[in-house]
């Protein structure tokens, strides 16, 4: 497999994944500053459908189940107990306790918009004046400050008189909703999902009737003195996922240390570069659980084209330390999420430093970009789908001998396994 675009110093050949827009900002930069105050709610359990794996792509998914379980435990997932177990087909949201944009809706009432957020080891809500009533909860995760969220009902409730004439029209959120999310980064470091089911629990790990298509939530007044609401939410994916697994060739690792600092992603629809933000409209209908409540999803690109700024793409992963993540001879996974509509090609840019084995920095902030057309890699490519995960294994290997003071290998590349 040969890259469609050459790279400097380290060429990253073959990141077979997917993605969508790119720009100088990403949700890594836009993590919300959560308020310190808000009404306490004892528990919010976030459960999400699994990703479909594209078996035609290169990569080894044999350990996917273990990887997911480990992520659940690491991110404080709700554990299975005798009282309650996670519904079949779902797992805990594996990006941690992210803020949730939420709308408390009732038939005939204006929605109460706000968030669930986790701070000081407690879940809180910004929604005011929660009453002793049945609500229908519609929302998304993760909430970011720049995202604009609005909602209307899917089918209004019509009151008729004895002659069949319309007397009044009311919001009918019990039947479903039309959610609009605006100004979403087209590439994200966190899994963008929409609520497809909600239910109130009787405890942190006890709930009955939780299923997709049912958004009803029996609330009780919430206060900091006596928090009593237990919120259980089911989610489905709005974006597709790209997982890159990278390792260093054993011979090269004996001579050089590669420290990965960040990964950027951009996408194209045929020859057209994607834009850096997306507006999404989701039609949700109440169902009996036998089918998904998602009736339709519309993606509209907006903003600048990816790569028009000082970055090649939108950053979807960044090292927690300034010196970067040391790559070894074992694969390390890096996952990003992107808007899937019409995407045919993606480009991944890696930023990294190269050291010798004595710790001397040889090359700082090197950049390497690979561009791959998915149809060249996936037989009978049907197009990128939301809720699907695409992956690639890559190995850093040297390309040629370069003589410095001693015979040495100094120009690595990445190849697909």
Predicted TM-score (pTM) of the model is 0.82
Tell me if 327 sits within 8 A of 247, measured CB to CB.
yes
pLDDT of residue 302: 94
Q: What are residue 73's phi and psi, to 5 degrees?
A: -65, -40
CA distance 319 to 325: 6
Identify any residues that bridge with 281 across adjacent strands, giving them in sequence order.
180, 298
Looking up tokens 């997709």 gives 212
DSSP state of 72: H
Which residue did the predictor score with more confidence, 354 or 81?
354
Tell me if 53 sits within 8 A of 385, measured CB to CB.
no
pLDDT of residue 41: 77
pLDDT of residue 73: 35
- Mean pLDDT for 20-31 is 48
Residue 29's pLDDT band, with cuts at 50, 70 and 90, is: low
- Is 11-25+239-276+306-416 in CATH node 2.60.40? yes
Strand 388-398 to 240-248 pairing: parallel
CA distance 299 to 116: 25
Q: Give the helix/strand (H/E) hosting 260.
A: strand 256-269
- Mean pLDDT for 310-336 is 93
Tell me if 49 sits within 8 A of 235, measured CB to CB.
yes
Looking up tokens 């100094």 gives 410
Contacts of residue 225, defined as CB under 8 A and 6 or more positions apart, other chains included, come to none
Locate the domains of the chain by residue range.
11-25+239-276+306-416, 39-237
pLDDT of residue 36: 56
Residue 377's pLDDT band, with cuts at 50, 70 and 90, is: confident
9-13, 271-275, 294-298: lowest mean pLDDT where? 9-13
- Mean pLDDT for 271-282 is 94
Query: How open is the CA angle 215-216-222, to the nearest 5 degrees?
Result: 115
Residue 236 has pLDDT above 80, yes or no: yes
DSSP state of 87: P
Query: How open is the CA angle 223-224-226, to the nearest 5 degrees?
Result: 65
- Mean pLDDT for 172-195 is 96
Residue 381's pLDDT band, with cuts at 50, 70 and 90, is: confident
Q: What are residue 91's phi and psi, to 5 degrees?
A: -145, 165
pLDDT of residue 204: 80
pLDDT of residue 137: 97
Three-state DSSP at 89 gives coil
Contacts of residue 207, defined as CB under 8 A and 6 or more positions apart, other chains included, come to 45, 84, 199, 200, 201, 230, 232
């Amino acid at each position: 497999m040969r890259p469609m675009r050459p790279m400097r110093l380290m060429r990253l050949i073959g990141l077979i994944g997917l993605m969508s827009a790119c720009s100088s900002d990403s949700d890594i930069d836009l993590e919300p500053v959560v308020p310190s105050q808000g009404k306490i709610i004892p528990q919010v359990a976030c459960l999400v459908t699994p990703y479909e794996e594209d078996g035609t792509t290169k990569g080894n998914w044999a350990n996917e189940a273990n990887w997911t379980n480990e992520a659940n435990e690491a991110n404080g997932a709700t554990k299975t107990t005798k009282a309650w177990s996670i519904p079949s087909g779902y797992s805990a949201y594996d990006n941690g306790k992210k803020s949730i944009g939420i709308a408390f809706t009732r038939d005939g009432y204006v929605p109460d918009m706000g968030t669930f957020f986790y701070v000081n080891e407690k879940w809180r809500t910004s929604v005011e004046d929660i009453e002793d009533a049945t609500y229908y909860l519609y929302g998304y995760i993760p909430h970011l400050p720049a995202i604009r969220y609005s909602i209307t009902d899917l089918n209004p409730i019509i009151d008729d008189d004895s002659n069949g004439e319309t007397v009044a029209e009311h919001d009918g959120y019990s039947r479903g909703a039309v959610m609009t999310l605006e100004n979403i980064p087209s590439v994200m470091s966190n899994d963008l999902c929409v609520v497809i089911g909600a239910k109130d629990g009787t405890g942190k790990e006890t709930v009955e009737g939780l299923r997709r298509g049912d958004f009803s939530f029996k609330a009780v007044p919430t206060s900091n003195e006596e928090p009593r609401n237990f919120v259980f939410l089911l989610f489905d994916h709005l974006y597709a996922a790209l997982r890159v697994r990278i390792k260093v060739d054993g011979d090269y690792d004996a001579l050089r240390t590669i420290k990965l600092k960040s990964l950027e992603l951009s996408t194209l629809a045929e020859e057209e570069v994607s834009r850096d933000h997306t507006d999404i409209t989701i039609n949700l209908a109440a169902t009996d659980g036998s089918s998904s409540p998602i009736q339709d999803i519309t993606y509209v690109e907006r903003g600048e084209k990816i790569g028009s700024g000082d970055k090649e793409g939108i950053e979807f992963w960044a090292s927690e330390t300034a010196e970067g993540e040391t790559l070894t001879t074992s694969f390390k996974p890096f996952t990003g999420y992107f808007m899937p509509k019409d995407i045919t090609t993606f480009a991944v840019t890696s930023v990294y430093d190269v050291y010798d084995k004595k710790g001397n920095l040889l090359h700082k902030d090197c950049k390497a970009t690979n561009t791959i057309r998915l149809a060249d890699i996936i037989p009978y490519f049907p197009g990128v789908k939301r809720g699907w995960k695409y992956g690639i294994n890559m190995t850093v290997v040297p390309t040629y001998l370069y003589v410095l003071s001693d015979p040495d290998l100094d120009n690595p590349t990445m190849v697909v396994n």
